[in-house]
Each structure stands twice: as structure tokens, then as C-alpha cells.
Amino acid sequence: MTLAEPQSSSARHRPPTTALEKAVIAHFSVLFIFTSWAFGGQAPWVRQVIAVWGGLGVLLFIAASLKLRKPSDQRRHPAVRWLWPLFLYDLFVGVSGLNPSFIAITSGGETSLIMGHPIPWLPSSARPLLTWSELWQFNAIVLSCFNLALVPQSRRLIRMVLLIIGGNAVTLAVFGTFQKLVGATGLWFGQVASPNPKFFSTFIYHNHWGAFTLLNTAVCLGLLFHFIRRNTQRTIWHTPVPLGALAILLLAATIPLSASRSCTVLMAALLGGAGIHLLRRLVRHRRQQGQSITAPLAGIIVAACLALGAIYTLGQDVIAQRTLETSAQLSAIAKEDTLNSRLTLYRDTWHMAAEKPWFGWGLESYAHVFRIFNTQRAVESWVWIPNYAEAHNDWLQSLAEVGFVGTSLLALLVLLPLLSVRWREVESPLPRTLLAGVALVFLYAWVEFPFANPAVMMTTCATYFCALRYATLPDGASKKRRPDHG
């Protein structure tokens, strides 16, 4: 019996996709693609659309949760109890919005904040309207993505979602590469002025593009490993593997091209880990077959060298420019008493968090309250004093805004589902590869603010919940297990 026969038979007996599954995937796809192409979600009008369209995702979550009440469906769905930290977080932040700690005073057309008298033992917020707006957007994104862990009943549907995510990213990468090569001075080939000169593709900030690309490269790597593992009866050139490798190369090349230095290092770590995983699998398979590993090993090394050469050739001007900037910055740091202004920013943010360690100053209050704690001063009176809207450290900023209570609830929202999966029983490398990308972005959040970008936030949540759902669903081929070669 050939390999195609059981697959076609399985396809004939595959249960039809339900209306709820179609609605969840369609809703997420529209939300995700729109957000990533609309400046990564960082224009005010885009955030309004996310709030409205994301509200439909909340309704879909409610519909799916009601379906969970049927005993026959309980065993097939991840537990909604994973979300109790989110519900407590909503209650906590919602209460803070009812307890304002600052009063807005308008004088001469300008609005300033003065300290109020909040109830001291309750959470409070410096800007309640901003707090509620940000809380709603957060829930709209998280629940729209959580639907991907709640509704799909097959791994095939999860892979479909991942193909949409990865395909969209590759299209953005091609768009951004052409935009960079023609020397566009603004977004959309110069049609829209960018507030940041270091933009890439449709993203205003190049480091946000870097985090977005890290996640999507992990998605493409996971799919690549899946197809290598599954397609054992055909030559590699008759599988989606070459196309996947090309997609990864295109994505990886855009990070140095976008001038994101830190993400270039993280991308190297991700691809290095993926290469080690692939080599281990290859060596183990060749030895089991009694075959030499010299030829395939040499082929992989040559392919890696060619890929690195192509990436360097494409972005050599940007790489040279950023190398000079890095050298200049290191020289300046060596002459200063403190490491640099970034460490001063972190210290001041920590002092802000320490002032209200339990509940913080309120969600989305950082830009308004940090001015009180900012110790950076210009040497000359005419020099502009830096004012920070973000802490360039999402972890510290979370402590400053929602305190240890809110940050702990967010950590539990991530850890509880992760710890509930029996990872020893998961044979597919796909979910682990997705989680590797998510882990790198969480690490990156110690030195930047990737989660301030809605598209990065959405991609993180989607890949995380897809990884969990994929790991908890049964492998359709487990009863007819083929040899594992990738």
C-alpha cells in the first residue's frame, strides 16, 4: 500500500470543519493581517479598529465557552480554567480605573496632572480612560488568539492558521525588502511619513519588525520540521521543504536589513538551534540506516554558507552602518561614568515601581507618571531632556504600571497552560519550535518593548496558543507511525 492511499482515505473520513471553527479562523485571520499591514497596529485609528473587530473575538470566545458546557465536548477542549489569571487581572485593572490617583487640570489649552487622593488600599490608575481602553484591547487580542486553542479540533486546522501567519509575514518581508532597496523615505514606498527613520515594511519601529520576524521565523521553522518529518516517501524537492527554507531565508534576511542589531543576534540563536536540531535528527537517521553522514553534512554547511552570503550581500550597507554606530556607542559608553542612559532609564523605572510595588500606577500610565521619576538631565539648558513613553523593558514597565500583583497574574496566564501539557508525550517538534520563538521574544522584552506593538502581541499570543493546542490534540498519524527523520 502506498503512502497516498491511507492519506486519501483519512481525508474522506475527516470530520467537516464546523461553522464555529471557520468563524474563529476567519476572524483571527482578518484581525491579524489587517493589524500587521496597518502599521503594526500603532496608529490610533488602527487601535480603534482592533478594539471593535477584536470585540467579535470576545463574543466567539463566549460562544465557544458555552459549547464547553456540553459533557461530550469537555474532553476535546483545553480547560477554560487556564484563563482565571486573566479574569482576576481584568478585575484588578478594572478596579484601578475606578480609583483615579491623578486629577487632570486644563489651563491655557494644555492638560496637566496633579496628585489626587485615591483610596490607598485599592489599586488605582493615573489615567483611568487610558487604562480601560488598553485593558479592552488586551482582552480583545488575547481572547481572539485563545480561540485558536479553544475551538479547532484537528492539527490540520492549526497548521492552516500557521500557514496564514507565516505566509503573511513572508509577503510583508518581500514588500519591506523592495521598499528598502528602492530607498523609500517613508512607509508604503514613501506615501506615508514615518515618525521613526528606522522603519521597515509596514512597521514604524525596526525593533518591532525584528520581534515580529523572530516569531514568524519560528512558525516557518516549525512547519518545515513538520513537513520533513511527515514526507518520508518522496524526495525533498517534491515536498514543501524547499519553499519553507526559502521563506525562512527571506525572513531572516530582513532583520539585518532593517538594522535591528539585537534581533539579529536572537535570529542567529534561533537558526543555530534549529540547525543543531536538524543535524541531530539527520545524523541519527543516517546511522540507523548504516549510511555515511559526510555528503548531507557537507550539503547543509554549503547551504548555510550560501544563505549567510546572500543575507550579507543584501544588507551589507546597513550592516556596515550599524557596525560603525555600535563602535561609536561603545566608545562613548567607555567615557561615561554610568554605562549609558538606558541603564539610568531602567533604574528610574525601578524606582517608579518601588513607589507602588503591589498595584502599580495603573495600566498605560507609564508615559504620564514617569516624568516624576526621570532623573536624566541635559548638561546645557537648551538641550532637550529625554521624555520616555516606554521603558524599553516590558517587564519593568509592567511592574511600574500594574505592580507585582498584576505582573504575577500575567505570568500565571502564560505558565499555567504551559505546565498543564504532558510534553513527554508530544512527538512533533512543531509546538516546541513555536515556543522557542515565543521564549526569545519574552527574553527580548528585557531590553526592548515588543509588546507595545499590537501585531507583535497578537503574533505572540497566536503562536503560543497554537503551540498548546497542537500539543494537546492527538496525532492523526499516530496509529500508523512512520519513521521519524526530521
Categorize the per-residue pLDDT at 313 as very low, low, confident or very high, splitting at 50, 70 and 90. Answer: low
Question: pLDDT at position 229, please?
Answer: 80
pLDDT value at 180 more than 50? yes
Q: Is 438 exposed, middle or buried (0-12, 13-18, 19+ CB in 10 A)?
A: buried
Question: pLDDT at position 340, please?
Answer: 67
For the segment 81-104, what is each residue's pLDDT rounded down to a tens digit?
A: 889 999 999 999 999 999 999 887
Question: pLDDT at position 259, please?
Answer: 83
pLDDT value at 183 more than 70? yes
CA distance 21 to 59: 14
Length of the chain: 486
DSSP for 246-288? HHHHHHHHHHHHTT-HHHHHHHHHHHHHHHHHHHHHHHHHHHH
Could you tell me if 223 and 171 are in contact, meaning their C-beta atoms sit under 8 angstroms apart? no
CA distance 394 to 224: 31
Question: pLDDT at position 438, please?
Answer: 97
Question: pLDDT at position 307, please?
Answer: 58
Categorize the per-residue pLDDT at 337 as very low, low, confident or very high, splitting at 50, 70 and 90. Answer: very low
Question: pLDDT at position 481, please?
Answer: 41
Percent of the chain residues topping a pLDDT of 70: 76
Highest mean pLDDT: which of 242-246, 262-266, 301-305? 262-266
User: At residue 115, what are phi and psi to the nearest 5 degrees?
Assistant: -60, 135
CA distance 459 to 457: 6
Q: 105 or 162: whose pLDDT is higher?
A: 162
Categorize the per-residue pLDDT at 486 as very low, low, confident or very high, splitting at 50, 70 and 90. Answer: very low
CB atoms within 10 A of CB 331: 9
pLDDT value at 6 more than 80? no
Look-up of cell digits 488602527: 46
Question: pLDDT at position 115, please?
Answer: 79
pLDDT value at 77 more than 90? no
Question: pLDDT at position 8, please?
Answer: 44
Highest mean pLDDT: which of 87-101, 115-129, 184-198? 87-101
Please state which of the ranges 33-42, 309-318, 455-464 shows the lowest mean pLDDT: 309-318
pLDDT value at 19 more than 60? yes
The grid coordinates listed for 323 are 557596525
Categorize the per-residue pLDDT at 288 as very low, low, confident or very high, splitting at 50, 70 and 90. Answer: low
Question: pLDDT at position 406, please?
Answer: 97
DSSP 8-state symbol, 414: H
CB atoms within 10 A of CB 420: 13
Contacts with 145 (C-beta within 8 Å, 6 or more apart), sequence order = 28, 458, 461, 462, 464, 465
Categorize the per-residue pLDDT at 315 as very low, low, confident or very high, splitting at 50, 70 and 90. Answer: low
What average pLDDT does this structure show over 315-325?
53
For the segment 431-447, what is each residue's pLDDT rounded down to a tens digit?
A: 999 999 999 999 999 99
The interaxial angle of helices 155-181 and 206-230, nearest 10 deg, is: 130
Q: How far is CA 148 from CA 221, 257, 411, in A?
A: 20, 32, 20
The grid coordinates listed for 298 are 557537507
Coil vs helix vs strand at 116: coil
Question: pLDDT at position 280, please?
Answer: 77
CA distance 236 to 189: 37
CA distance 404 to 101: 18
The grid coordinates listed for 272 are 543555530
Please state which of the ranges 32-36, 104-108, 287-291, 377-381 shows the lowest mean pLDDT: 377-381
What average pLDDT does this structure show over 245-253?
89
Question: pLDDT at position 314, please?
Answer: 55
pLDDT value at 482 more than 70? no
Question: pLDDT at position 461, please?
Answer: 97
Highest mean pLDDT: which of 75-84, 298-307, 332-341, 368-377? 368-377
CB atoms within 10 A of CB 114: 8
What average pLDDT does this structure show over 190-205?
91
pLDDT value at 52 more than 90? yes
pLDDT value at 375 more than 90? no
Contacts with 328 (C-beta within 8 Å, 6 or more apart), sequence order = none
One-letter amino acid identity for 31?
Answer: L
CA distance 300 to 471: 29
Question: pLDDT at position 300, please?
Answer: 60
